[in-house]
């Protein structure tokens, strides 16, 4: 099989960067497997419990970059109890003991302690990049350790983490010798920061391209930072409130105009909409605009801002933009590929909300649209069908109607036909989230048409087991299935247990699955961990097989039952 020396193959493999492709390469033959594993530098582990750190280290001694995901996706919505798992410490510990020269660690939905961060900072000389998304369990002390000890740190990117903020001094921990920063994102921190230290840090970081500030950074500091870093490509503004007639504001205007490289703008955690005109000069170059934390921006001011953003490719916005505002988006942002519309007031009456009209407008005006997250008050089949026709390129389509079982308000029909049109038209659809009133029919369509579907999220839908069966039978590429509050029971669960080995995970909560059913799966498939999460302690007293299981999470694994599960998690 080998016509070339290993070095040549290795060189060829260097050009193969996607994880999937490299995984495929490693399956070709033993020698390719060997070559691939020694040359592999980046590993992605979608479920940290599917493999152990020891096995990872054994297989990929050249590892430099590790991506780990911990809790299941529904943990984002409070469906997974707090200390369910996803601890990164064992990984860092194992890696630290080995000879792995870790340079990059990217974590999502994991529990990260200060000890882990400290150990991380001290164990890897060349550590360069830490990205934490939706993690928790650490404080600014951990960040201080990273700042102090990682001499070549290039990236510290904290996205939407729950951080216990002990206020400010961590920024001062970056030594004067640290000049390598390329990306610094601390927008999610809620506390004060040492502004002087921040300014000095930015001054001595000539390579800084991405800077996202938190709310505690006031305008005049922002202006100084921009003056020192006109090369910024990605800017997250913390607080943007000021008097439009002040000197500080004028200075800011000048500073912003110098930043000709900015392509991505976010933040605005506090915003004075009448001062947005200072931003206009850079709007024309923006490809990513995230205003989803700026409820203060709406109405005409918002629309005016959008009108300047002709090159926008990704827009994250609150629903106070309204259908009208989305119309402006449709007219202006012809390059738009990704749209996310978040609810500004999810539990209250939707004064300023979007409906199906806004979505239809965007679909008509932005033919390149391929990724959508849309929270709205209502949706109609007709609108979905129109959207499907206008935008056949959807890769991600996530629709959340705030009332999860709302039918089409015009026809009172379920939204089966609308979603059916989406899956039929969008042949490349990889991710789908459903809402609204839905019957088994929509799942029939999904099973039939969604051939590339990898992730499906279902809530409050379907009428019977058939729904789940259609999906399991039809979607060959399904990797993640998460279901809540649907009438799927043991019959559906047990129909094809082998399927679950081809998937990363299955989540079912508030369904009709019983303990007996889960046990049956566990018994038939030793390669799966079947976890029952039951905080009510009922399981202890009543182990009746017929009992309904509140939350079940099953996933394939090579390393058997995990040892760190809390009391209320039963692994069958």
Partner 1 sequence: MSPPLLGVEEEVQSSVSSPSVECISENGMGLKERNYLGLSDCSSVDSSGVSSNLNLATELRLGLPGSQSPERETEFCLLNLGKLDEKPLFPLLPSKDGICSSSQKNVVTGNKRGFSDTMDGFSEVKGYVYTEKSWMFHEAGSDSESPQSVGHGKYPGNSGVNVILSTRSPGVQASVKQDEPANVLQEQPRATNGTSLKQTVISNNTTGAPAAKAQVVGWPPIRPFRTKTLAASSKNNDEVDGKPGPGAVFVKVSMDGAPYLRKVDLRTYSTYQELSSALEKMFSCFTLGQCGSHGTAGKEILSESRLKDLLHGSEYVVTYKDKDGDWMLVGDVPWEMFIETCKRLKIMKSSDAIGLGNYLVSRTLPKNLLEQWRNPRPTTKKNLDMGANFLMPNPNQTDNSEVKSVGCVVESERSYHVSSHL
Using the minimum distance from each CB to partner 1, give the nearer residue, 296 or 327: 296
Choose, by CB under 8 A, the member of 9, 117, 271, 329 that binds partner 1: 271
Residues 320-349 that bind partner 1 (CB under 8 A): 320, 342-349
Using the minimum distance from each CB to partner 1, give the nearer residue, 141 or 535: 535
Residue 272 interacts with partner 1 (CB under 8 A): yes or no: yes
The three-point CA angle 420-425-427 to 5° equals 110
Choose, by CB under 8 A, the member of 72, 137, 236, 296 that binds partner 1: 296
Cβ of residue 419: shortest distance to partner 1, in angstroms? 15
CA distance 146 to 141: 9
Burial letters for 287-313: b for 16+ Cβ neighbours within 10 Å, e otherwise? Answer: bbbbbbbbbbbbeebbbebbebbebbb
Choose, by CB under 8 A, the member of 96, 364, 382, 405 that binds partner 1: 405
Choose, by CB under 8 A, the member of 463, 519, 568, 571 that binds partner 1: 463
Residues 365-384 that bind partner 1 (CB under 8 A): 375, 377-378
Residue 273 interacts with partner 1 (CB under 8 A): yes or no: yes
Which stretch in 115-123, 169-177, 266-274, 361-369 sits in contact with partner 1 by CB under 8 A?
Answer: 266-274
Question: Would you tell me how many other CB atoms lie within 10 Å of the CB of residue 166?
Answer: 15
Tokens at 537, concatenated = 């302690």
Q: How many residues bind partner 1 (CB under 8 A)?
A: 83
Residues 36-75 that bind partner 1 (CB under 8 A): 74
Residue 86 interacts with partner 1 (CB under 8 A): yes or no: no
Choose, by CB under 8 A, the member of 510, 519, 559, 572 that binds partner 1: 510
Q: In sequence order, what are the residues at sequence separation of 6 or more whose Cβ sits closer than 8 angstroms to the Cβ of residue 460?
A: 404, 405, 435, 438, 484, 485, 486
Tokens at 207, concatenated = 């390579």
The three-point CA angle 343-347-350 to 5° equals 60
Using the minimum distance from each CB to partner 1, give the nearer residue, 177 or 536: 536
Choose, by CB under 8 A, the member of 25, 68, 79, 282 that binds partner 1: 79
**H-helix or E-strand spanning residue 7:** helix 6-14
Distance, first Cα to last Cα, the chain: 43
Residues 201-230 that bind partner 1 (CB under 8 A): 215
Choose, by CB under 8 A, the member of 50, 134, 140, 381 that binds partner 1: 134
For residue 286, how many C-alpha atoms fall within 13 Å in the half-sphere facing its CB? Answer: 28
Choose, by CB under 8 A, the member of 77, 99, 245, 498 that binds partner 1: 77
Residues 92-131 that bind partner 1 (CB under 8 A): none
CA distance 162 to 188: 8
Residue 139 interacts with partner 1 (CB under 8 A): yes or no: no
Residues 475-504 that bind partner 1 (CB under 8 A): 484-487, 489-491
Using the minimum distance from each CB to partner 1, give the nearer residue, 6 or 463: 463
Residues 165-204 that bind partner 1 (CB under 8 A): 188, 190
The three-point CA angle 454-457-461 to 5° equals 135
Residue 161 interacts with partner 1 (CB under 8 A): yes or no: yes
Choose, by CB under 8 A, the member of 414, 420, 447, 474 that binds partner 1: 414
- Per-residue x/- mask for partner 1, residues 528 to 567, rule CB under 8 A? -------xx-x-----x-xxx-x-----------------
Contact status, residue 484 vs residue 461, Cβ threshold 8 Å: no
Cβ of residue 564: shortest distance to partner 1, in angstroms? 23
Cβ of residue 559: shortest distance to partner 1, in angstroms? 29
Cα–chain center distance at 508: 20
Q: Please name every residue paired with 340 in a beta bridge, in sequence order, or none if there are none.
A: 316, 373
Q: What does the DSSP assignment read for 169-225?
A: GGGGGS-TT-----EEE-TT--S-B-HHHHHHHHHT-TT--EEE--TT--HHHHHHH
- Cite the DSSP H helix spans in 65-139: 89-97, 114-123
Choose, by CB under 8 A, the member of 45, 331, 352, 565 that binds partner 1: 352
């Amino acid at each position: 099989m080998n016509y070339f020396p290993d070095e040549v193959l290795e060189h060829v493999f260097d050009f193969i960067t996607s994880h999937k492709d490299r995984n495929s390469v490693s399956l070709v033959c033993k020698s390719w497997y060997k070559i691939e594993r020694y040359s592999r530098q980046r590993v992605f582990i979608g479920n940290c419990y599917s493999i152990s750190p020891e096995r990872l280290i054994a297989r990929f001694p050249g590892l430099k970059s590790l991506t780990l995901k911990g809790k299941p996706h529904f943990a984002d919505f409070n469906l997974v109890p707090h200390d369910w798992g996803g601890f990164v410490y064992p990984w860092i510990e194992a890696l630290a003991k080995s000879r792995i020269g870790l340079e990059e660690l990217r974590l999502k939905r994991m529990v990260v302690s200060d000890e882990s961060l400290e150990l991380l900072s001290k164990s890897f000389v060349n550590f360069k990049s830490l990205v934490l998304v939706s993690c928790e369990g650490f404080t600014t002390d951990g960040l201080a350790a990273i700042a102090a000890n990682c001499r070549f740190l290039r990236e510290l990117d904290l996205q939407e983490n729950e951080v216990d903020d002990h206020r400010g001094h961590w920024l001062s921990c970056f030594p004067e010798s640290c000049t390598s920063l390329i990306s610094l994102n601390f927008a999610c921190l809620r506390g004060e920061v040492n502004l002087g230290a921040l300014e000095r840090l930015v001054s001595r970081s000539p390579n800084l391209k991405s800077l996202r500030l938190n709310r505690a950074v006031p305008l005049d500091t922002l202006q100084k930072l921009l003056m020192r870093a006109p090369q910024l490509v990605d800017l997250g503004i913390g607080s943007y409130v000021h008097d439009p007639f002040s000197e500080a504001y004028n200075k800011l205007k000048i500073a912003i105009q110098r930043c000709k490289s900015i392509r991505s703008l976010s933040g605005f955690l506090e915003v004075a909409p009448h001062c947005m005109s200072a931003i206009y000069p850079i709007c024309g170059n923006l490809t990513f605009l995230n205003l989803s934390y700026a409820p203060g921006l709406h109405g005409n001011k918002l629309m005016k801002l959008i009108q300047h953003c002709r090159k926008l490719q990704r827009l994250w916005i609150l629903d106070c933009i309204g259908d009208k505002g989305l119309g402006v988006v449709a007219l202006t942002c012809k390059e738009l590929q990704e749209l996310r519309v978040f609810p500004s007031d999810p539990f209250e009456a939707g004064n300023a909300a979007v409906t199906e009209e806004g979505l239809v407008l965007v679909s008509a005006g932005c033919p390149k649209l391929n990724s959508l997250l849309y929270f709205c008050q209502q949706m109609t089949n007709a609108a979905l069908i129109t959207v499907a026709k206008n935008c056949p390129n959807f890769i991600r389509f996530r629709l959340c109607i705030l009332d999860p079982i709302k039918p089409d308000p015009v026809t009172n029909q379920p939204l089966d036909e609308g979603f059916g049109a989406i899956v039929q038209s969008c042949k490349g659809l990889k991710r789908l989230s459903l809402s609204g009133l839905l019957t088994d029919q929509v799942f029939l369509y999904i099973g039939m048409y969604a051939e590339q579907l990898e992730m499906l999220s279902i809530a409050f839908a379907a009428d019977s087991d058939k729904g789940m069966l259609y999906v399991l039978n039809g979607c060959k590429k399904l990797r993640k299935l998460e279901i809540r509050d649907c009438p799927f029971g043991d019959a559906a669960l047990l129909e094809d247990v082998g399927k679950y080995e081809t998937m990363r995970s299955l989540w079912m909560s508030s369904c009709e699955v019983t303990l007996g059913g889960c046990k049956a799966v566990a018994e038939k498939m030793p390669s799966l961990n079947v976890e029952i999460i039951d905080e009510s302690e009922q399981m202890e007293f009543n182990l009746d097989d017929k009992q309904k299981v509140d939350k079940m999470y099953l996933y394939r694994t090579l390393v058997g039952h995990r040892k760190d599960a809390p009391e209320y998690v039963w692994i069958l």
